[in-house]
Structure 1
């Protein structure tokens, strides 16, 4: 009986991958009546995936955090697979709270000092690790032909704010000071991440400017969380039914914060800071995502401050599409666009 959950998960994973290979019209019929909100139509692949998710059982926000973490990793393996890569190596550095794990991805054929991305995973500062975002990092490394360094920063509630930022900043300082030995061209080093990781990447980019450098050459911000004041309309419009829920966001905040923080402060809400002089950015949001408004607002703020920014809304997609690099057509296509932007930004 102990193997039953794993067996059921494998069956559902196989089903999802098989269904997403069907012709587009068939997927649309299986997905059901079109979902249209604010003039946007939910992509049939996303709609079908959400229907399959309803069969998965309890939502992650209803589970104990440790169990939820395992479910997130398992789900990421289903939708991400294991894209081919030249080499993957792990190492540990001294972090602010003890050993800090990093994972290095080298694409096939890449040698010598090369552009690189320091990557911070998503998961609401309570979920996610090197495994949950392994496929995404592999994909970005190969598609953009850059080295990727993933950071396994500490998670709440075991290590609440500001531990996540402290580890992220320590990783930035370590990588920049060891770039030559890592085969990284420090003048072509970007920061990036998805969701909570996009939050950390944006904050690191700002902090680097405040401290006088070295600063990133580029930012890859994938549906970033930028505003802990939670003022955007989209957080309510897409609060339920599109994978990232209000219930999960509330759970994440309750565990990440101790309750006495200034939510507008520099290590929490990049949207409320001075962004003059930060690195050029590619900001991508999903059309059916509670975070769409604050992602766009951050892109607008960068542009208004004279920062070169490319903003793209993947109109029909949902939060976490960046993990779906091996599932269907729509999400991988969006991630190829993001990887191309990263490659251009570091060329």
Structure 2
């Protein structure tokens, strides 16, 4: 299928504007540019409506973290979802993923708790992971006060999907497993050079492979890329993971590893649905105000995940 026409226009406009690639800017300026392309570009009328929002603090690996709670319209109690934002472990925050968290809340009819974990290179691995794990532990023990019932899940996009998969494994090993996990175009194999999508979609589709290399170096430094805590596809404990929905995009360098992760989960006996969204690029869930196709795809993801959360599929 061809690239979504509205996303193609967005990419062409960015190329014409000559915006520098993130890896050439350094972390601080890259964060500013990323925010300008995400939260700052959303027209007021395109903010996804939810019943209420609330800023809170949650425990992290080295102190409190900023977090934001999104509550859906309707009668509760609802399931609760820990949402971990993407951005290559280097950029991204609560604001850049505001509409994604809102869409997940509205579409899945769940309380969503979005966390602002520590970023690299100031805080390299495992700082962000430690933050996500501590936040997950706290959320699991505070479901009722957040407005949820006993059902809870983890979700994340891109680098956040990477963290979400590892959080699921850690919490399951502690006998407090999430009921489901949502991984949106996740990074699950740091050394993914063997996958055709890495070369097919290396340039021109929002996420550049050179930018990915910068993200990885910033996050890991000299740490072993085969460590399953950074490449969860290499985990020996995939059979312990919860029922999963994995959303991937046709024109994304991470497409094939996301599909491979779903296949590995199924081989391990875990329910895993992999949905590839034709015509989409990496980051499309944050581009719903720029493309009707991206909006429809994101809404489909959230509806499917809400159905999974309320299904009778057991954890394995």
Q: Give yes or no for TM over 0.5.
A: yes
**Residue 118 (structure 1) aligned with residue 49 (structure 2):** no
Q: What is residue 141 of structure 1 aligned with on the other side?
A: 105
Q: What is residue 300 of structure 1 aligned with on the other side?
A: 263
The question of whether the paired residues in 2 share the 8 Å contact of 1:225 and 1:291 is answered with yes
Q: What is residue 132 of structure 1 aligned with on the other side?
A: 96
Q: What is residue 313 of structure 2 aligned with on the other side?
A: none
Query: Equivalents in 2 of 1:108, 1:71: separation in Å?
Result: 33
Q: What is residue 10 of structure 1 aligned with on the other side?
A: none
Query: Equivalents in 2 of 1:308, 1:79: separation in Å?
Result: 35
Most deviating of 234-243 and 124-133:
234-243
Q: What is residue 278 of structure 2 aligned with on the other side?
A: 315
Shift of 1:79: 4.9
The question of whether the paired residues in 2 share the 8 Å contact of 1:139 and 1:325 is answered with no
Runs of 4+ in structure 1 over 4 Å off: none
Structure 1 residues 303-331: Cα deviation after superposition (integer angstroms, max 9, x where no partner): 11111111111121100001012222100
The question of whether the paired residues in 2 share the 8 Å contact of 1:79 and 1:323 is answered with no
Name the SS of the counterpart of 2:240 in structure 1.
coil
CA RMSD, 1 decimal: 1.4
Please point out which of 28, 32, 47 is paired with 2:8. 47
Q: What is residue 155 of structure 1 aligned with on the other side?
A: 119
Structure 1 residues 240-285: Cα deviation after superposition (integer angstroms, max 9, x where no partner): 11110011101101110121x2222231111001210311111110
Shift of 1:147: 0.6
Please point out which of 179, 184, 192 is paired with 1:222. 184
Shift of 1:195: 0.3
**Residue 69 (structure 1) aligned with residue 34 (structure 2):** no
**Residue 105 (structure 1) aligned with residue 70 (structure 2):** yes
Name the SS of the counterpart of 1:127 in structure 2.
coil
Shift of 1:110: 4.0
Query: Equivalents in 1 of 2:253, 2:56: separation in Å?
Result: 35
The question of whether the paired residues in 1 share the 8 Å contact of 2:156 and 2:184 is answered with yes
Q: What is residue 158 of structure 2 aligned with on the other side?
A: 195
Shift of 1:291: 0.1
Matches within 5 A, 1:225-304: 225-231=187-193, 232-259=195-222, 261-273=223-235, 274-304=237-267
Query: Equivalents in 1 of 2:217, 2:292: separation in Å?
Result: 36
Query: Equivalents in 2 of 1:79, 1:292: separation in Å?
Result: 26
Query: Equivalents in 1 of 2:13, 2:21: separation in Å?
Result: 12
Name the SS of the counterpart of 2:275 in structure 1.
strand
Query: Equivalents in 1 of 2:304, 2:13: separation in Å?
Result: 31
Structure 1 residues 182-218: Cα deviation after superposition (integer angstroms, max 9, x where no partner): 12223x211111100010111111122223x211111
Name the SS of the counterpart of 1:220 in structure 2.
strand
Name the SS of the counterpart of 2:32 in structure 1.
helix
Q: What is residue 14 of structure 1 aligned with on the other side?
A: none
Query: Equivalents in 2 of 1:194, 1:304: separation in Å?
Result: 23
Aligned residues: 304
